[in-house]
Structure 1
Amino acid sequence: MKPRDRRASRWDAHRRSRRAELTDAAIAAIRAHGAGVGMDDVAAQAATSKTVVYRHFTDRTQLYVAVCARVAEHLLGQVRAAMDAATGPRGKAAAGIEAYLRLIEHDPEVYRFVVHRAPAAGPVTDLVSLIGDEAAEIIAEQLRRVGLDPAPAVPWGHGVVGLVRAAADNWIARPAGMTRTQLATHITDLAWAGLSGVVAPQKEDK
């Protein structure tokens, strides 16, 4: 195969860099204008034209995927760090749940964009699915550790994330004076009541 011209490779790096800059601008525009942000808002935030934005993102779906990937990378890093710092299966579950809620509390419009503004058409990987996959991996690891079949980890992981999302969506719409930590504790109590019987020895249920 003929090697690519170095100039073409340089343009690849430039395009990746420019897409990253425009993704950052999109996130800033979402924070400023809300989850219903338009391409005009993104272009204005990036101090460029909408034509330039469309040169790198052919439609809103491509922009959504880029923003979702950036948010997911950040959130997954926060979830993993919080769980690594916690002790015991229940403590790790609580830490992961609170890390998810922290994103919502600190960046509500970005959360609404990646969770509730997904394009109606096109196969995209949304934030909740990515977090569900991560939860499934953690549950599967725990199941193997106690000598159990890891097969149920996928529905359990996505089920737990669905529980967290539903409770979080209600909280962001109707907080009713409940703090993030209080909500995390309530969700953990409910989720762990089911998980503790299947992913951890009885002595770790406390």
Structure 2
Amino acid sequence: MADAPQLPDEAETRARWGAFAWDPESAEKAKEILGRYPAGRQMSCTIPFLDLAQRQVGAETNTQGWLPVPVIEFVARELEMPYIRVFEVATFYTMFNLVPVGRYHVQVCGTTPCMLRGSDDVMAACKSRGMKKGHTTADGLFTLTEVECMGNCSSAPMVQINDDNYEDLTFDRTVAILDALAKGESPKTGTQEPGRHTVEPLGEPTNLAAMVTENHDYRPEWGSAA
């Protein structure tokens, strides 16, 4: 499990973020999000508003973004909700960062399927590039976090870096991705297994093989009516 974050110094945080408000682009997006819900149902906007605020903070700091307490308070005011209700959401989901993170937030899945498939090698690759779990590198480039299952079990082990997933990882593949990001490049997202497109079985399919090349109707073979 991820360690509980230590919230940044309140006085310094308020000095920097106490006057937070939507920039023009975020204000337009917030209006669009709010319009999806009936009047009086603005509580439904909590997650998208927090995400929008975190992304604006990220754009201002050239990082993946985080949610200072004054920013959470701003979202609560926008939605006319008690602060604690919004804070509860921010602390529940690991998609929200309560402390500053680096330009690339490297989230390594350590749940059983990834562990059995080599997540320790993924973590070792991160450490080989100067990362330490729960910390940001001195250059501000990478933050390393261990998280629970992110739903890519069939292409384990995997890591999420900002908004992108990288799957079917090994030590060397992870190092290559990290090195490319450090150079400002955009490495291939998704599976890193050569010849694999998404999460289809490696090699030839073992069932419904006729569907590979055509919309084959199996019902007559199964004794079903056409």
Bucket of the pairwise TM-score, normalised by the shorter protein: under 0.3
Q: What TM-score comes out, normalization by structure 1 length? A: 0.28
Structure with higher strand content: 2
Q: What TM-score comes out, normalization by structure 2 length? A: 0.26
| Larger RCO (CA under 8 A, 6+ residues apart) | 1
Name the larger-Rg structure. Answer: 2
